Amino acid sequence: MYGLNAKGQSLFDTDIACASISAFAVALRVFSKVWHKQGIRSDDYWSIVALVFYLTSVGCMQWGRVTGGGGMEMSEMLMLVSEHPEKIKLIEHFLEASFLGYTFVLVAQYGVKMSVLFFYRRIFFITKGYQRASLAVMAVATAWFIATQIVNLLTCQPIDSFWRRLKVGTCLNFNVMFLVTGIFDTVIDMVILLLPVRMALALQLPMRTRIAVAGIFALGGFVVITNIIRLRCIYNPNARYVRFSEAERWLNIHVVTAFVCASLPVCKPLWNTISRAAGNIISHYTSSIRSMLGASNNKSENTSYIRMNGLGGSLTSKERGIESVYPASSDKKLGQTITSVIGGHEEDCEPLHVPKGSIVYSRKVDVV
């Protein structure tokens, strides 16, 4: 499709999937806030801004892939251009798209960080220590974003000499730039992940909620792991260019996981509503089925409550699948009427416990 090779098609599908999941996570977040009339807060606005820049980044990368080699690696395009100089546009489109995509995705990463930090500040607003610590992390994250964008924009001078390979200019070492900025990014993510752990563990939460919180922190840990894998895959100290395809793949996985991790806690009221609705539906149909089965059993088992053995016998009652046998009077004569009252007394019979909501009835059986 679109002239892509196998690798290009794989990256194309990965980009579309990650963009779709990210958009769904943010949309679900906003819907939950509007549905429960909680209002759109600063952390939600940061998520929306981050999503817009991320989708723009994905669009740039897709344009560069379709018009710039169809999924070929940089080394393959350089070899192709050396044989066919007229195809230099492939490299220009690919590198220009990579530059724009990385510029926009930096804004998306910064936006997700700020969204998480503002959300935690709103949740732990009574903890002054956390308020100060989160404010410090915000300052560090902002400094990282500004420094990374400056380095990115000044990687090549003039800027367009990055993608116009025939234009004279000077460029920094891309591998070193990606490695240094990526390390700081990973450290900041780890700090954001660990910052609320102590407060969250100190809360008296039900076990189900504790498990959910642990799952969210585990997902946050995966965000850090994907960033480490991304740095490991793209770093190539002996090459002029990084491995763009691997960098793009793991960057997308890293960003989409961050979006999901940032949106899950905000969607908790929506999960509760869905859970209650599902529980009510299941309870309704379960009660209906039990009522139908109970009526069928009462109709078919006409003699299930009296069991005679010779002149003596026993009185049997069934309540919700539990069978209890009570002694019946052994001096009853043939032809005498034996009356059984569930939940009442009958001579020597012990009273049966009738749960609230059950049906109390009496039967008369002539023993012949």
Residue 289 lies in a domain: no
Q: Which residues of the chain have pLDDT under 70?
A: 1-2, 125-126, 198-216, 238-242, 269-276, 284, 294-368
- Would residue 227 count as lying in a domain? yes
Contacts of 67 (CB under 8 A, 6+ apart): 89, 90, 93, 94, 97
Beta strands in the chain (DSSP E): 156-157, 170-171, 306-309, 312-319, 322-327, 337-341, 362-366
pLDDT of residue 103: 93
Cα dihedral 307→310→311→317 (10° resolution): -10
Kindly state the tokens that stand for 301: 């088992």
- In degrees rounded to 5, what are phi and psi of residue 360? -100, 130
pLDDT at 306: 40
Same domain, 28 and 136: yes
Same domain, 25 and 117: yes
pTM attached to this predicted model: 0.70
Domain C-terminal end among 263, 286, 316: 263
Which pLDDT score is estimated for 202? Answer: 66
For residues 221 and 323, state if they share a domain.
no
What span, in angstroms and rounded, lies between the C-alpha atoms of 40 and 119?
11
Residues in the chain: 368
Same structural domain, 226 and 320: no
Q: What is the pLDDT of residues 135-153, one digit of tens each?
A: 999 999 999 999 999 999 9
pLDDT score of 354: 47
The amino acid that residue 31 corresponds to is F
Residue 148 belongs to a domain: yes
Cα(168)–Cα(170) distance, rounded to whole angstroms? Answer: 7
Per DSSP (E only), the strands in 67-198 are: 156-157, 170-171
Looking at the structure, tell me whether residues 352 and 246 fall in a common domain.
Answer: no
Residue 291 in domain: no
Domain of residue 116, CATH code: 1.20.1070
Query: Which range marks the domain in which residue 29 is found?
Result: 6-263
- Can you list the alpha helix ranges (DSSP code H) found in 124-162? 128-153
Residue 330 CB neighbours (<10 A): 12
Find, among 256, 130, 252, 110, the residue nearest to 189 by Cα: 110
Report the interhelical angle of 244-263 vs 6-35 (nearest 10°).
Answer: 20
pLDDT computed for residue 272 by the predictor: 66
> Are 239 and 320 in a shared domain?
no
Domain count, the chain: 2
Position 236 scores a pLDDT of 73
For the chain, counts of helices (H) and of strands (E): 10, 7
How many whole angstroms from its chain centre is CA 64? 30
pLDDT at 282: 79
77: Cβ contacts below 8 Å, ≥ 6 apart = 68, 69, 87, 90, 91, 94
